[in-house]
Amino acid sequence: MAGTNQNVGGYKLLTATGNVCPFGTSLLGIFASTSTVGTVTIYDSATTTTTAKVIDTVTLVAGTWYPMPISTTAGIYIVVTGTLSATVVFA
C-alpha cells in the first residue's frame, strides 16, 4: 500500500557506553530489557564526542519501549550509567 510507514530498522544491544551507528541515521527508539537505575544520554556523533546532545539524561524502566523518532547527521553515540540492557533500533 502506497504511503505506509514501517518503523523497522537495524539494532544494537547496548549494555555500556558506546557508538551505535557511525554515520547519520534515524533513531527509532530504545527497548529497555533490564534496568537498575539505568540511564542514557544520546548524542549526534560518529565517535565519542559529547558536544551535540540530542536527548539529555533519561532513566529507562525495564520492559518499556521508548519511541524516539529522531534523525542525526553524524551518528548515534549513547552514554550509559547504572545497570542497563537495552536494544537501540535505528534506520
Number of domains in the chain: 1
Q: Is residue 29 part of a domain?
A: yes
Cβ partners under 8 Å of residue 48, min gap 6: 19, 77
Q: Is residue 75 part of a domain?
A: yes
Q: Is residue 4 part of a domain?
A: no
Number of Cβ atoms within 10 Å of the Cβ of 12: 15
Q: Is residue 3 part of a domain?
A: no
Domain range holding 24?
A: 12-90
State which amino acid sits at residue 62.
A
Q: Is residue 1 part of a domain?
A: no
Q: Is residue 2 part of a domain?
A: no
pLDDT in tens, the chain (91 residues): 455 566 789 999 999 999 999 999 999 999 999 999 999 999 999 999 999 999 999 999 999 999 999 999 999 999 999 999 999 999 9
| Number of residues in the chain | 91
Residue 70 · residue 28 · CB < 8 Å: no
